[in-house]
């Protein structure tokens, strides 16, 4: 999956110690199992264990690997199949001739798995990776023993996102890898070479690296690195010098995990959509294992979540109600179970949680289950408690989120909740197929739109620095812009330790406008004028009301909305997108604003005071 740790080595030194040290450098990425394979005296030796590297190291203590100068290692962030010893990588072919490690999702793995089982192969795990090990072992003889050619043959059959690294006991001086839509870099040493999912794994040994491109295969020995495309044609890859130190490398060269995770949002959104619409353009969420009849029988949806996850639920409410005509209640988990809520067998309760361990949400989930409700988790951490205790789960594929302030998880929670909404509409027949396809197409275009916002963040950073002395910032929004305003305020509170509050813009005149005085910064999430013109007109009035009282108005407004420029002190532009898509682009400047404000104030952005990444107490 998006953030597994990969290390490969071939050279003069002991492979094991280099690989384990490399995997340690990748620990920050989060993982739930680890393993290593080496070639020794014509045999492949594998040691792998669920849990942290310490578990693997104690296994290696009691059951050591033989000496070897060729090996591969992996830390797994579970996707297909929970974090168990058998699901840990490396995976072996049946005859133990080939070992494979993998980062990504192989979308067509179930048909490949069926083909293998039909041919009598016994699979030892639930993973998509193991399928590749068997296919490679079958392809090597066809390729006259040529592992790179066998890898190319197999890769041509794979769909999805993958970095694969393989070794063959018959070729002990060779490590072969392939990549599509998933990172892979080569570390070029003297008489030794390295492969890794990011440079942090080998930067202690060499700073000379090669960045592999899309659909490429690399054959690596101690003295040679050959790169081809999937058809075997040699390709030039550009070398680069790593000028990061190891700790910066862990953040992919970013100063902060939060900056890295903000930058990962286009990929996180793309990964969370991947494979969830089939060739017939129907939403396919088979992994949810929720009976369609049941989904037709429910008469309301209740979202339970905390913090940012609750804000994501609020965004999703507008979409799911619009698409399914089902009432959607969004409940703060900490309030839910103490207010004697009305849920039962006709309710679909959706627990949204990045960590899957938030105690408030877990306790609310248990309460909902006790009332007989059907439960679905939207979660970013495979195998965590909340999905395990839910009837079904839809995973977001944001990859581990290290910074306490949630960013990419928020966008992918919206994506997952939208997919559930579209799936409900599909199953219940409240949207035509072409309408569902149209929305999915809009979603598919969002990674590129988020990318565009990321390219234009300097103005909002400058504003944050200019306003770093502010004592309070208000956020306004309407419709789906309202939960975005709440999320922007939450980010600013938890990062800059500054008072910030989000309001439904229509609420201003019912009290909050008394807060406005000279110089108060007000950030306004402006609805698209093309979406609901009435909403745009009303928010322009709200801007006029606060400016008339001295507010400094910063409008987050779409490109082409010239009206707003006449009324706001500053305009931060975002791409024009349909109404329900706007939270995916409008949130990003607010994340950057809060991050820059905290940085300007010299605060610890990744680990803000008083906060934990996962609140496992009630």
Binding site for ligand AGP (CB under 6 A): 306-309, 353-355, 358, 361, 404-406, 494, 614-615
Q: Does residue 4 have an active-site annotation?
A: yes
Do residues 214 and 225 lie in contact, with contact meaning Cβ atoms separated by under 8 Å? no
Tokens of 357: 């361990």
- What is the number of other CB atoms lying within 10 angstroms of the CB of residue 603? 15
Residue 308 and residue 306: Cα distance in Å, rounded? 6
SS3 content of the chain, % helix, strand, coil (to 5): 40, 25, 35
Instruction: Give Cα separations from 131 to 86, 105, 166, 596 (angstroms).
Output: 14, 12, 13, 45
Q: Cβ of residue 54: shortest distance to ligand AGP, in angstroms?
A: 24
Q: Which is nearer to ligand AGP, 103 or 406 (CB)?
A: 406
Rg (CA), the chain: 25
Residue with tokens 């690997």: 65
Do residues 477 and 525 lie in contact, with contact meaning Cβ atoms separated by under 8 Å? yes
Residue with tokens 């306790």: 363
Residue 569 and residue 553: Cα distance in Å, rounded? 5
Q: Cβ of residue 598: shortest distance to ligand AGP, in angstroms?
A: 12
Active-site residue, selected from the candidate residues 4, 155, 379, 595 = 4
Name the 3-class secondary structure at 11.
coil
Instruction: Give Cα separations from 543 to 422, 518, 537, 550 (angstroms).
Output: 34, 14, 10, 11
Within 50-128, residue ranges assigned H as helices are 53-62, 109-118
Residue 266 and residue 270: Cα distance in Å, rounded? 6
DSSP-assigned letters across all residues of 579-612:
GGGHHHHHHHHHHHHHHHHHHHTT--SSS-TT--
Interstrand relation of 216-220 and 300-305 (parallel, antiparallel or unpaired): unpaired
Q: Does residue 306 have an active-site annotation?
A: no
Residue 116 and residue 119: Cα distance in Å, rounded? 5
Residues ≥6 apart with Cβ < 8 Å to 550: 516, 517, 518, 519, 520
Active-site residue, selected from the candidate residues 52, 369, 538, 613 = 613
Do residues 386 and 357 lie in contact, with contact meaning Cβ atoms separated by under 8 Å? yes
Residue whose Cβ sits closest to ligand AGP: 307
- What is the number of other CB atoms lying within 10 angstroms of the CB of residue 277? 20
For residue 269, report the phi and psi dihedrals to the nearest 5 degrees: -65, -45
Give 188's strand partners.
193
Do residues 136 and 151 lie in contact, with contact meaning Cβ atoms separated by under 8 Å? yes
Q: Cβ of residue 312: shortest distance to ligand AGP, in angstroms?
A: 9
Do residues 459 and 389 lie in contact, with contact meaning Cβ atoms separated by under 8 Å? no
Q: Cβ of residue 240: shortest distance to ligand AGP, in angstroms?
A: 33
Give the dihedral sign, CA 355/185/258/576: negative
Give the dihedral sign, CA 296/299/304/310: positive
Residue 394 and residue 381: Cα distance in Å, rounded? 10
Residue 5 DSSP class: E
DSSP-assigned letters across all residues of 183-252:
--EEEE-SS-EEEESSGGGTTTT--EEEE--TTEEEEE-SS-EEEEETTS-B----EEE--S-HHHHHTT
- Residues belonging to the active site: 4, 613
């Amino acid at each position: 999956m998006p953030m597994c740790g990969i290390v490969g080595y071939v050279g003069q030194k002991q492979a094991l110690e280099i690989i384990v040290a490399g995997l340690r450098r990748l620990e920050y990425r989060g993982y739930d199992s680890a393993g290593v394979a080496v070639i020794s005296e014509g045999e492949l030796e594998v040691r792998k264990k669920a849990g942290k590297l310490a578990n693997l190291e104690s296994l290696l203590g009691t059951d050591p690997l033989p000496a070897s100068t060729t090996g591969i290692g992996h830390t797994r962030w579970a996707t297909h199949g929970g974090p168990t010893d058998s699901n840990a990588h490396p995976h072996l072919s049946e005859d133990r001739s080939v070992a494979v490690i993998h980062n990504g999702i192989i979308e067509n793995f179930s048909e490949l798995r069926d083909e293998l089982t039909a041919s009598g192969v016994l699979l030892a795990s639930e993973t998509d990776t193991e399928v590749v090990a068997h296919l490679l072992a079958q392809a090597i003889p066809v390729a006259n023993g040529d592992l790179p050619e066998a890898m190319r043959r197999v890769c041509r059959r794979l769909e999805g996102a993958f970095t694969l690294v393989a070794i063959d006991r018959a070729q002990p001086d060779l490590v072969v890898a392939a990549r599509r839509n998933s990172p892979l870099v080569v570390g070029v040493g003297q008489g030794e070479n390295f492969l890794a999912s990011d440079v942090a794994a080998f930067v202690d040994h060499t700073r000379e690296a090669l960045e592999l491109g899309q659909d490429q295969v690399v054959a690596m020995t101690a003295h040679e690195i050959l790169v081809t495309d999937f058809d075997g044609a040699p390709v030039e890859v550009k070398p680069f010098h790593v000028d990061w130190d190891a700790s910066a490398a862990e953040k992919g060269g970013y100063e902060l995990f939060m900056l890295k995770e903000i930058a990962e949002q286009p990929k996180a959104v793309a990964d969370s959509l991947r494979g969830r619409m089939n060739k017939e353009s129907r939403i396919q969420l088979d992994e949810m294992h929720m009976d369609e009849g049941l989904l037709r029988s429910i008469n309301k949806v209740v979202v339970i979540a905390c913090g940012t996850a609750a804000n994501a639920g609020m965004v999703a409410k507008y979409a799911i109600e619009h698409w399914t005509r089902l009432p959607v209640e969004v409940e703060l988990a900490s309030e839910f179970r103490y207010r004697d809520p009305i849920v039962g067998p006709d309710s679909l309760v959706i627990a949204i949680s990045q960590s899957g361990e938030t105690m408030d949400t877990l306790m609310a989930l248990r309460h909902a289950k006790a009332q007989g409700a059907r439960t679905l988790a939207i979660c970013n951490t495979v195998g965590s408690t909340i999905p395990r205790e839910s009837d079904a789960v839809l995973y977001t594929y944001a990859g581990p989120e290290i910074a306490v302030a949630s960013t990419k998880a928020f966008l992918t929670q919206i994506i997952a909740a939208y997919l559930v909404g579209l799936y409900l509409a599909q199953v219940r027949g409240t949207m035509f197929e072409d309408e569902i396809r149209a929305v999915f197409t809009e979603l598919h275009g969002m990674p590129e739109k988020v990318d565009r916002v990321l390219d234009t963040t300097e103005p909002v950073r400058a504003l944050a620095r200019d306003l770093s002395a502010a004592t309070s910032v208000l956020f306004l929004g309407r419709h789906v812009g309202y939960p975005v305003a709440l999320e922007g305020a939450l980010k600013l509170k938890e990062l800059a330790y500054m008072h910030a509050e989000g309001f439904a813009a229509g609420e201003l005149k019912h009290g909050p406008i008394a807060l406005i005085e000279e110089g108060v910064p007000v950030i306004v999430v402006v609805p698209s004028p093309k979406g609901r013109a009435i909403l745009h007109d009303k928010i322009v009035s709200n801007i006029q009301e606060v400016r008339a009282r001295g507010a400094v108005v910063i409008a987050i407004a779409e490109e082409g909305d010239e009206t707003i420029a006449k009324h706001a002190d500053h305009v931060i532009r975002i791409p024009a997108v349909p109404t329900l898509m706007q939270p995916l682009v409008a949130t990003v400047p607010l994340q950057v604003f809060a991050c820059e404000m905290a940085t300007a104030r010299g605060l610890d952005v990744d680990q803000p005071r008083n906060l934990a990444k996962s609140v496992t107490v009630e």
